[in-house]
Chains A and B, each alone.
Chain A
Amino acid sequence: MTAQVDLLHVVTTDNITPRRIALGRTLVWGSAGILFLLIAIQALFEYGYLSFGFENWRPVLYGYAFWAFCFCASQVIIRGEQGKRALFVLPAVLFVASMVIFPLLFGLSIAFSDWNLASPDGRSFNGLDNVRQMWADPYYWNALKNMVYYTMAILVEYAIAFGLALLLNSQIRAQKFFRVAFLMPLMLSPVAVSWMVGKSMLEVRFGPIARLARWIGWDSPSFFGTPEMARTMVMVMDAWTFIPFMMIMILAGLQAIPKEVQEAAKVDGASAIQAFWQVVFPLMLPISITAVLIRIIFKLKLADIIITVTSGGPGGATDSVTSFIFREYRDRSNVGYGTLLAMVYLVVIIIAITIFMKLVDRWMNPRY
């Protein structure tokens, strides 16, 4: 399927004169010139070589926006119809590239420096000191380990979500009501959830869940006392918000399975359990993997619940990498070290996800 022809094929009679091309080129290079001029002025001003300049780098940003606009316009001027097509993708590409690649490179450069934003010294390059510090930082390794636990919890979430989706897909009354009710947790802000559930419902003295626990027979319930319990509670709250997400994806998949397949299984005498494990579940595998993968991606960002409920406690037992870096920055305002930790995290994630995808691929398409 390497079709080199556009799906929407357009025949055009563009008559592009050399003057038009020249105009386009001037536009691009002219605006680029203005941008570089702005950068040069500001850089020289910042280092004290120039007496005049702007208060901040904001004009450079405007310069960049202007250049981007001119670049898009010049595409149409120079390349005519082809340029108009490029215009669909170009703004998004420019936006993402400038918002991701430049900060990432900048982040790499500050990851190897000691930069305390609060101190007046500014930034100083310190080579691999940050790496050494990270290597010896038990809290960071602990946070990484916690992320593994948190990610494991997705399996349980997935099982629950699948069960709920099956129920919603069966013949029930008031399906819409249940769907809306089940969707609700996803709409709520994790911060509000962490107050509503984490701080008030799990409050040891008057919280309704603590009451329930006492009624069941747990004399002195404490939900954030021991590391295991606290971690579980964070998992439960996070699961509560995100189970609907997986549920909806799985439900959509279930509804897409043709009825005939299940009827055929029934005719062949499969019991409900057999029909599920040998027909429905295998058919649902691709969607399940997508749902789990997206859920993993969201899980890796987990921070707000931890920051607001436990702030990492007790003793860093509930820290996720994100919340750890957040506190690291809040406490010591050291940008360099925090960035290095984040970069290492990114590398770990990329490696882990690549391995996961490869394994899934191997498992889904076995080569004998």
Chain B
Amino acid sequence: MSDSQIFHDSEMDLSHRAKWLTKRVAVYGVLIFWTIICLFPIYWTITTSFKIAPDVMQGNMIPWVDFEPRWKGWKSLGLSPNTIFTESTVRDEFIKRFMNSIKTSVGASTLALILGSCAAYGLSRFNYRFGFMRNSDISFFFLSQLILPPVVLALPFLVLYKKFALLDTSLGLILLYTLTVLPIVIWIMRDQFSSIPVELEEAALVDGLSVWGAFFTIILPIALPGMVAAFILALVLTWNEYFFAALLTSTDAKTLPVMVASQTGSQGINWWSMAALSAAAIFPLVVIGVVLERFIIKGMASGSGK
């Protein structure tokens, strides 16, 4: 037909484009600015672990441009390429603390997940009466533990653990950490379970499964993503916990944060080795954060549903 354009962009729409562009620039500017705020400390720590004294003092920032990266910090930890196969007491100490941290955080998160998902499932499906306590009271009883600040329990636990010979043991820490993350796990899992239709279990029961059988074979597989989310959130919180670990452990069960904290005080600040230690301490969680970001966000988002 005719080649002439019927619809023209009006003047207003054309000016709109420039406005849109400035808005884009502003948005990305803010985003990039905040990304720098979030990531610069990590970048700084990792680069510092490869610096030597003059580099630190001159404030050199960019490896290979400003300064030549050295393995000095990692060498003092016994983790550099040329020391990795030799004896190193620092490395043994580090590995021990690292394993302690893994043991306590994984142990506590697992225990909390088991206790928490069972409780959350029960609360989302059945009506209970324990004396005067009904479902809402039981839920409140669990969630109210969140308000309890750790200090309140810290000193009584110190005395009790001394009596029970649980001081400076991983078991003691695991029990306490389980207590602190249990409300969060229950919160997330209750949300998960109430989003699963009851008809699924009813069908399973008709097919002859018991209540627990239906829970294990039907419900748990469906709720698995939620469980992973709860587990990771619990893992992050327990891995980073410092207060109880500093108070209740001294030699055997000391965790990584306590080791990092105790290094800062002594012998002035040894920049490169501290940087290497911090980098090694945050490394596992950075990896988890990058790989499993989806689950973490899911976990926290399900909490906001209420």
Contacts and interface: CB of A to CB of B under 8 A. Distances in A.
Interface stretch (B9-17, B70-78, B119-127): B119-127
Interface in B155-189: 155-160, 162-166, 175-176, 178-179, 182, 186
B62 interface: no
Interface in A207-253: 208, 211, 240, 244-245, 248-253
A240 B297 CA distance: 18
A300 to B, nearest CB: 5
Contact of B122 (A88, A163, A201): A88
Contacts of B57: 205-206
A9 B262 CA distance: 56
B44 A206 contact: no
B149 A92 contact: no
Interface in B245-300: 246-247, 256-258, 260-261, 264, 269, 271, 274-275, 278, 281-282, 285-286, 288-290, 293, 296-297, 300
A192 B304 CA distance: 28
B35 interface: yes
B239 interface: yes
Interface stretch (B89-97, B205-213, B220-228): B205-213
A167 B23 CA distance: 11
B34 A103 contact: no
A22 interface: no
B289 A191 contact: no
Given A8-B201, A248-B301, A335-B159, A190 B242 contact: yes
Contacts of A163: 30
Given A196-B45, A200-B48, A322-B149, A187 B286 contact: yes
A183 B158 contact: no
A252 B300 CA distance: 8
Given A56-B163, A167-B31, A342-B154, A183 B261 contact: no
Interface in A89-104: 89, 91-93, 95-96, 99-100, 103-104
B151 A321 contact: yes
Contacts of A199: 264, 269, 274
Nearest to B290: A180
A95 B300 CA distance: 25
A338 B124 CA distance: 39
B152 A208 contact: no
Interface stretch (A25-33, A263-271, A346-354, A360-368): A346-354
B41 interface: yes
B179 A100 contact: yes
Interface stretch (A79-87, A134-142, A148-156, A274-282): A79-87
A16 interface: no
A55 interface: yes
Contact of B211 (A84, A107, A182): A84
Nearest to B211: A84
Interface in B229-244: 236, 239-240, 242-243
B138 A191 contact: no
A345 to B, nearest CB: 6
Contacts of A308: 242, 261, 264
A131 interface: no
A192 B179 CA distance: 24
B21 interface: no
A248 B300 contact: yes
The 9 closest A-B pairs by CB, nearest first: A88-B122, A252-B301, A92-B119, A189-B240, A107-B156, A304-B242, A56-B165, A187-B289, A191-B257
Given A86-B128, A100-B179, A199-B264, 16 more contacts: A4-B127, A8-B211, A81-B211, A103-B157, A163-B30, A167-B31, A190-B242, A208-B59, A244-B38, A252-B301, A253-B304, A290-B303, A307-B242, A339-B155, A342-B151, A349-B149
21 contacts: A5-B127, A8-B211, A88-B119, A88-B215, A91-B115, A100-B179, A106-B160, A107-B156, A178-B31, A181-B35, A183-B297, A186-B236, A191-B242, A192-B45, A196-B44, A200-B48, A208-B61, A245-B300, A249-B301, A290-B304, A307-B243
Interface of B: 27-28, 30-31, 34-35, 37-42, 44-45, 48, 56-59, 61, 115-116, 118-119, 121-128, 130, 138, 141-142, 145-160, 162-166, 175-176, 178-179, 182, 186, 198, 201-202, 205, 210-212, 215, 236, 239-240, 242-243, 246-247, 256-258, 260-261, 264, 269, 271, 274-275, 278, 281-282, 285-286, 288-290, 293, 296-297, 300-301, 303-306
Interface of A: 3-8, 10, 55-58, 60-61, 81, 84-89, 91-93, 95-96, 99-100, 103-104, 106-107, 110, 115, 117, 163-164, 167, 170, 172, 176, 178-193, 195-197, 199-201, 205-206, 208, 211, 240, 244-245, 248-253, 287, 290-291, 294, 297, 300-301, 303-304, 307-308, 321-322, 325-326, 329, 335, 338-339, 342-343, 345-346, 349-350, 353
